[in-house]
A and B are shown apart, each in its own frame.
Chain A
Amino acid sequence: MPIAERGYIHWDGELLERRRPWLPITRQGIRLAFKRKYFKFSFFVSLVPAFGFLVGIYAAEKIQDFKLKIEGVSTILQVNPGFFRAYFAGDFLLFMMLMLMVLSGAGLIADELRHNALQLYFARPLTKKDYFMGKAAILVFFLSLVTVVPGLVFIICKLIFSGSFRFLADYPWIGLSVIGFSALVTAFFSFYTLMISSVSKNRRYTAILLFAIYIFSDVLFGIFYASFRNPYFALLSIKANLQQVGAAFFNVKAPYAVSWIYSLAVLLTLCAVSAFILHKRVKGVEVIK
């Protein structure tokens, strides 16, 4: 048997039948997430606001039947863009989305760094892009179930309960707003979660970091805003930025007197920084000197 020439043989062929190589990563991640007790509980709790708002839509149509004479209640239960903004950019939903990310996302990359499993992925015909897409799709799946899906269900139920298309005639852009804001908040949380998950091999540490950075940004904003009364400090808070952009998407008055464009820029910058950090941290081989 001839002795082979020493050297690397580079394969120049074309990969055939590349059918969504990221999909098995996503399927497995979703399956594993649902195996966790805390996650299942948190997931169903995060759907509670959706049910609440759905009941609100129903109640808004049936308000005369309930003979509610309490002053102002008819305006509270008005199903308008403000109603949608209240759901999408509400504190509780954003908090529950964060909890879902902590439970399903903190270990997505951290666990693989710990077990040195990245080599197993990149020893296959899988690019880094496929890997990130697979991981991100897990988070997108769960986030979509609490954002775009309930949002579209709200619109459909509003149309059904009201028995007319007047709502769509009044707000023809509402569907796009739901999809657009859901996409933004989903993309942001996905980038944020994956980036934090990639900074350490310790899942406990990444879970705390995910939570702490989000809360800290809001506390920081609260401290400076209370001290200096400058609305631009809202740009320090992840929650405030999401709420600013949410208000813009649903064409309602923003909570703080700062342009939503700046908030959007902050969120997009964070996404870009996250992507950069992910690119640096996720490698097939780690060289330790």
Chain B
Amino acid sequence: MSAVIATSKLSKWYGNVLGLSDVTISIEPGITGLLGPNGAGKSTFFNLLTGQLKPSIGSLTIFGEPVRNNSRAFRRIGLCPEQDAFYEELSGWEFLTNLLRLQGYGPTEIAARAEKALGIVELLADKGRIVRSYSHGMRQRLKFAQAIAHDPQVLILDEPLNGLDPLGKRKLIRLIKDFGREGRTVLVSSHVLPEIEALTADIILLHHGKILAVGGIQNIRDLIDTHPHIIAVRSSAPRALAAHFVGEEYVLNVHFENSRDSVLFETTNRDRFFERLTRYAAEPAAAVEEVTSPDDNLQAVFDYLVGT
């Protein structure tokens, strides 16, 4: 699959302050999560991606075309910005229809698309109220509506789940996943790692303006040699279980959690460990009740790589 978004040595300085450094990535259709702590360069990356900033070095293309000062490109791009900013004295309907007008649609199509987008984000009942009277969640949904109303093929979402209640988040996550399944390219950033995990397994991790990791969460985790995998196995015979593995060279550490009858194994080779565990669990005397990987998740990847 060819890349929809491609950057090559993309860098941005604000005077002497580094915003982004040497970012070379290709993003294909599907959902990609953009992660990083505050000041990592996520906003800079999004601003470069949407042509609001000019790269200091490097290039950036979407569908093979540069974005900066290329207004045509925005027929296929939708952006949900992070900032809570609107034309406050317009109603939700007026805000959306006027932005759709700028996409070049006629009045009938504008009305149809606005109805559809507001229906998706459940704002139809409040479409006549001025935006200034909207709650934070409603404003967030309106921002999302204006990003999707023109059916873009690339959706860039900067903290789209901010301010939404749990039900709203679930609905929006489902919607974003639908977009991904349709073959669109969705790039979404969030500070809340479980939200990203709920959306996608493919991530780009930024830190201090540089890319720390790109790819699937599992793949990235496997590559982190400095932090062995931790696997927790609950068993009614934890010491027997531990004895079974303690001689293996890929098991670095064994720790007993007496309160939960669990054994925590630190291993450098997760695949070999699970292979051996499967064979052990099949034995009649084995009493394996539960197997979990406490650090086989995005939070652990984030913590290990960012170092917090």
Interface residues of B in 100-132 (CB under 8 A from A): 130, 132
Q: Mark A272-289, 1 if CB is under 8 A from B, else 0.
A: 000000000000000011
By a CB distance below 8 angstroms, the chain B residues around A288 are 130, 132-133
Which A residue's beta carbon lies closest to that of B84?
A116
Cα distance, A289 to B133, chains bound together (Å): 7
Interface residues of B in 124-154 (CB under 8 A from A): 130, 132-133
Interface residues of A in 238-289 (CB under 8 A from B): 288-289
Cα distance, A289 to B130, chains bound together (Å): 9
By a CB distance below 8 angstroms, the chain A residues around B133 are 288-289
Q: Mark B86-102, 1 if CB is under 8 A from A, else 0.
A: 00000000000000000
Which B residue's beta carbon lies closest to that of A288?
B133
Q: Interface residue tally of chain B, by bracket?
A: under 10
By a CB distance below 8 angstroms, the chain B residues around A289 are 133
Which B residue's beta carbon lies closest to that of A286?
B132
Q: Interface residue tally of chain A, by bracket?
A: under 10
Q: How far is the CB of B299 from chain A (nearest CB, A)?
A: 28
Cα distance, A288 to B133, chains bound together (Å): 5
By a CB distance below 8 angstroms, the chain A residues around B132 are 288
Cα distance, A289 to B132, chains bound together (Å): 9
Which A residue's beta carbon lies closest to that of B88?
A201
Q: How far is the CB of A220 from chain B (nearest CB, A)?
A: 30
Cα distance, A288 to B126, chains bound together (Å): 14
Q: How far is the CB of B139 from chain A (nearest CB, A)?
A: 12
Which A residue's beta carbon lies closest to that of B132?
A288
Cα distance, A289 to B134, chains bound together (Å): 10
By a CB distance below 8 angstroms, the chain A residues around B130 are 288
Q: Mark B65-80, 1 if CB is under 8 A from A, else 0.
A: 0000000000000000
Which A residue's beta carbon lies closest to that of B130?
A288
Q: How far is the CB of B179 from chain A (nearest CB, A)?
A: 32
Which A residue's beta carbon lies closest to that of B134?
A288
Which A residue's beta carbon lies closest to that of B133?
A288
Q: How far is the CB of B135 from chain A (nearest CB, A)?
A: 10
Q: How far is the CB of B131 from chain A (nearest CB, A)?
A: 10
Cα distance, A289 to B128, chains bound together (Å): 12
Which B residue's beta carbon lies closest to that of A289?
B133
Q: How far is the CB of B212 from chain A (nearest CB, A)?
A: 33
Cα distance, A150 to B48, chains bound together (Å): 53
Q: Mark A39-76, 1 if CB is under 8 A from B, else 0.
A: 00000000000000000000000000000000000000
Q: How far is the CB of B218 from chain A (nearest CB, A)?
A: 40
Cα distance, A288 to B132, chains bound together (Å): 7
Q: How far is the CB of A287 from chain B (nearest CB, A)?
A: 9
Interface residues of B in 290-304 (CB under 8 A from A): none
Q: How far is the CB of B243 from chain A (nearest CB, A)?
A: 43
Q: How far is the CB of B104 from chain A (nearest CB, A)?
A: 31
Q: How far is the CB of A76 from chain B (nearest CB, A)?
A: 52
Cα distance, A159 to B280, chains bound together (Å): 103
Q: How far is the CB of B132 from chain A (nearest CB, A)?
A: 5
Q: How far is the CB of B236 from chain A (nearest CB, A)?
A: 33
Q: How far is the CB of B129 from chain A (nearest CB, A)?
A: 9
Q: How far is the CB of B225 from chain A (nearest CB, A)?
A: 45
Interface residues of A in 103-121 (CB under 8 A from B): none
Q: How far is the CB of A25 from chain B (nearest CB, A)?
A: 25
Which B residue's beta carbon lies closest to that of A201?
B88
Interface residues of B in 185-241 (CB under 8 A from A): none
Cα distance, A289 to B129, chains bound together (Å): 9
Which B residue's beta carbon lies closest to that of A287?
B133
Interface residues of A in 216-251 (CB under 8 A from B): none
Cα distance, A288 to B138, chains bound together (Å): 14
Contacts A/B (CB < 8 Å), 4 sampled? A288-B130, A288-B132, A288-B133, A289-B133
